[in-house]
Chains A and B, each alone.
Chain A
Amino acid sequence: MDAKKVLACKTHEVATGQQKIVKLGNLPVGIFNVGGEYHAMLNVCPHRGAALCEGPQCGTTQETPHYDFIYGQQDDLVRCAWHGWEFEIKTGEFIVDRSIKAKTYAVSVEGEDLYVHL
C-alpha cells in the first residue's frame, strides 16, 4: 500500500538541531533537521512509550578502546525525554541495541512544504 503523504510543516520551522513536534491525524511525530536533511520519527519511544522526540537532539561519545571521550554524531541522535535511550534519527535505531527501533517515516520537501509519508 502506498504511504499517505501528509503536509507536516514548513521547512523554516525546523532549524538545524531543533526538532518540531507535529500532530498528523492521531499520530504525534517529531520532525528533525540533521545537517540540512529532514527526518520524521514517531514521538513514541519503543522502550516505555514516552515522548521520545521531545528529548534533546545531540551527539554522543564514540566507541573507543581506551579511556577517551570522543564526542561525535553531533545532532544525529535524539535522547528519549524520559529514560535517555539514544536513537539515531535517520534510522530510528537504539544505539545500544540496534534491533530496537523507533518508528521512522520518509520525508519529502516541495518548496517550503515538508511532507511526511505515513
Chain B
Amino acid sequence: MTTIIDCDCHNYWMSAEVLLPYMDGIFKDFFIRGEQPGPVGAFPHGHRPWLHPEGFKRADINPATQEEHYSLMKEKHLDRYNIDYAILTGDEALEASTLANPYYAAALVRAYNDWMVDYWLPKDSRFKGSLVISPTDPHGAAAEIRRLGGHPDIVQVLASHGAQRPYGDPFYHPIYEACAEMGLPFAIHLGGQGGVNSNPIGAGPTTFFWETHALLPQSAMTHVASMIAQGVFEKWPDLYFVVIECGVAWVPSLLWRLDANYKALRKETPWLKMLPSEYFKRNIRFTTQPLEQPGTKVEHLWAILEAMDGENTLLFASDYPHWDYDSVESLHIPPQWRDSILGGNALKVYSRLPQPKTLAKTA
C-alpha cells in the first residue's frame, strides 16, 4: 500500500493573537501595542508588493473558528485522500523573515513554534511539525533549532525562500550546523518576499500577481546554486535541503548550467568534490506542488522530471488549503514513480517518520 506523505500542509490561525500566551517582555508589548500591518490579530511582517486579487485559500475552505481549521483539513484533505502524514508548514509565521528587527522576528517564530507544538501536533497523529526560523539572526535561529529540534514530532527546519542573501552564504551556516546536530533537514518554502527581502524577482519588481507567482522560483534557483557552490553539502554531507513550492521543471536546466560552468572553473571552489548535479541528487529534494502543467503533452514534463531523477528527488506536496492545491489523485507524474514520490522519498528525508511497517491509518 502506498504511503502518502504531504510535505506542504498549511496549519492556519484565525488570528495571530494565538501567539500571545507564548510571548513575554518587550516583544509581547511590541506585539500588543506596537504597529501592525493590519487590524488586530495581523502578524507583524513586511508585506510583499504583489497582492493576490482573490486571496490565497481555496474558496471551498472557509473555517469560521480556529477549531474548524483542523476539522475541515481532516475532512477535505487528510481523510479524503488517505494521507498518512502531513508535514505542517505553518503559514504567516514564515514572514517573520521580512522584518528588519531580527530579535522581534525570533520572538515571533519562537511563539509560533510553541503554539504549533501545543495546539496542532497533539490534534492528529498524522501531523508532523516544521520548526520555523527567521534566518535574519542565524545564531538565534540555531538556538531555536536546539531548543525545540529534539521534539520527536518535529521533522524539519523551515525558512522563507525570500531572503536577504543566497542561503549558501557562510552567514547562514550556524543554522546548518544546528540542523546537522539535531538531524533535521533544512527546508525553504515560497514566501517572505517583502520587507528586508527586497529582491525576490531579478530585473526588478513585476506588476501582476499571476505573472509574479510564475517567476518566484528565481530565488530558489539562486539558493540551490549557492548551497552547492558554497560547500554546504561538503561541510554537512548528510544534510537534506528541501525546496518547497518553487516549481521543478527548471531544475535540470540549472543543473546542466552549473555542471558546465563548474567543469571550466572548478578552481573557484576547491572545497567541492563532486559535480553540482551530484550534490543535488544526494542532498536536495523538491516538493511537487505546484507541478508544472505542460498543456497537452505530459511527456514533455516527464522527460524533464526524468532529467532531474525525479523518481528519487521529488516529494509529494498538496499546499492545502491554497488556491493552487494539488490533490493526490490528480498529480500528473509517471505511474511507476507514485510510491516513491507520494511517500517513499519523504521517508528517507524525514528520518523521524515511522517507517511503513509501523504505519497505521488514523482516519
Contacts and interface: CB of A to CB of B under 8 A. Distances in A.
A95 to B, nearest CB: 7
B264 interface: yes
**Chain A at the B interface: mostly helix, strand, loop or mixed?**
loop
A86 interface: yes
Given A65-B234, A67-B170, A95 B266 contact: yes
B267 A85 contact: no
Interface stretch (B63-71, B177-185, B269-277): B269-277
Contacts of A67: 170, 231, 271
Interface of B: 170, 231, 234, 262-268, 270-271, 273, 275
Interface in A26-48: 47
Contacts of A2: none
Given A65-B234, A67-B170, A96 B271 contact: no
A84 B271 contact: no
Chain A's interface size range is 20 to 34
A8 B322 CA distance: 72
A112 B341 CA distance: 67
A95 B273 CA distance: 11
A66 B266 contact: no
Given A62-B270, A96-B262, 5 more contacts: A61-B267, A83-B264, A85-B263, A94-B263, A96-B275
A97 B271 CA distance: 16
A68 B272 CA distance: 12
B230 to A, nearest CB: 9
A61 to B, nearest CB: 4
A85 B231 CA distance: 21
Contacts of B271: 63-68
Query: Top 9 A-B pairs ranked by shortest CB distance?
Result: A84-B264, A61-B270, A61-B267, A60-B267, A96-B263, A83-B264, A64-B270, A96-B266, A63-B270
Kindly name the residue among A60, A67, A85 whose own CB sees the greatest number of chain B CB atoms within 10 A.
A67
Interface string A46-71: 01000000000000111111111110
A96 B264 CA distance: 9
Contacts of A70: 270
Kindly name the residue among B263, B264, B268, B270 whose own CB sees the greatest number of chain A CB atoms within 10 A.
B270
Contacts of A65: 234, 271
Contact of A86 (B170, B231, B267, B275): B267
Contacts of A96: 262-263, 266, 275
Interface string A79-94: 0000111100000001
B265 A84 contact: yes
B264 A63 contact: no
Given A65-B234, A96-B275, A85 B270 contact: no
Nearest to A95: B266
Contacts of B262: 96
Contacts of A61: 266-268, 270
Interface string A87-118: 00000001111000000000000000000000
Contact of B273 (A62, A63, A66, A84): A63
Nearest to B230: A67
A44 to B, nearest CB: 17
Kindly name the residue among A85, A94, A96, A97 whose own CB sees the greatest number of chain B CB atoms within 10 A.
A96
